């Protein structure tokens, strides 16, 4: 990317621009476009990374690495898939490489669980806002929910977060993780079964509020990505 002096979409608020327009701006070296793409993608990419690795700090490092790989290779993005799909795959690959470096002998695509004990599927609420009277209860439970989800094996945690928190379809999850849709369904079933005992009595809402990545954390990530791109003369 090379810095351009043009006023690309100068009169249009960035939050209202289509993704394709922001990518054009990022290719032209526009910092504002990069920041807006980071702002939009942060929640999903953080949850995807956190679904694979064991800590928030590792997830943040992986998301930053994924951004740098994506923004320094925008010329290779042909638009055959959505940008969100493309960068999600980059994030998954970065997270898996991180695990392989840390534990080279471990298999990260195998779910080891005893299937002999049948269990009813726990039906979790969807992505709709709660009634006002339960909003406070949900906020107070978030830490508990995050801990419970964090205890899931990573091969169950990642599709669970993608499905419950990011509202991705089973087909989309299967595509991004390169799994059979039936495998995705099985892992979601197992994740729900694992969580049922600890959450059933207290669950008040959906999972869209857990592992948030917004506010100051979101702005800090944008600052780090922009600074790294500037250091490599990409902005």
Q: How far apart are CA 167 and CA 44, in angstroms?
A: 10
Residue 47 tokens, joined: 């949850």
Residue 165 is predicted with a pLDDT of 87
For the segment 26-79, what is each residue's pLDDT rounded down to a tens digit?
A: 999 999 999 999 999 999 999 999 999 988 899 999 999 999 999 999 989 988
To the nearest whole percent, how much of the chain has pLDDT over 90? 47
Q: How far apart are CA 93 and CA 229, in angstroms?
A: 20
Instruction: Tell me 174's DSSP state.
Output: H
Give yes or no for residue 107 having a pLDDT over 80.
no
Q: What is the DSSP string of 78-89?
A: -SSS-HHHHHHH
Q: How far apart are CA 154 and CA 194, in angstroms?
A: 12
């Amino acid at each position: 990317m090379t810095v351009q002096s043009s006023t690309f979409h100068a009169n249009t608020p960035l939050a209202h621009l289509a993704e394709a327009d922001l990518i054009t701006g990022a290719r032209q070296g526009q910092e504002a476009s990069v920041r807006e793409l980071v702002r939009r993608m942060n929640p999903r990419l953080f949850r995807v990374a956190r679904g694979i690795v064991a800590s928030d700090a590792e997830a943040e490092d992986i998301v930053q690495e994924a951004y740098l790989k994506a923004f320094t290779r925008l010329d290779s993005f042909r638009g055959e898939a959505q940008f969100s799909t493309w960068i999600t795959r980059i994030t998954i690959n970065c997270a898996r490489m991180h695990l392989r470096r840390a534990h080279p002998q471990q298999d990260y695509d195998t779910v080891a669980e005893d299937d002999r004990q049948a269990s009813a599927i726990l039906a979790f609420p969807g992505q709709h806002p709660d009634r006002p009277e339960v909003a406070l209860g949900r906020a107070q439970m978030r830490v508990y929910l995050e801990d419970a989800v964090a205890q899931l094996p990573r091969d169950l945690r990642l599709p669970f977060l993608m499905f419950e928190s990011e509202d991705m379809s089973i087909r989309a999850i299967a595509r991004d993780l390169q799994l059979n849709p039936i495998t995705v369904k099985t892992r979601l079933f197992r994740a729900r079964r694992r969580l049922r005992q600890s959450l059933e009595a207290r669950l008040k809402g959906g999972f869209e509020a857990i592992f948030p990545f917004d506010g100051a954390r979101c702005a800090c990530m944008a600052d780090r990505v922009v600074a790294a791109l500037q250091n490599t003369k990409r902005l």
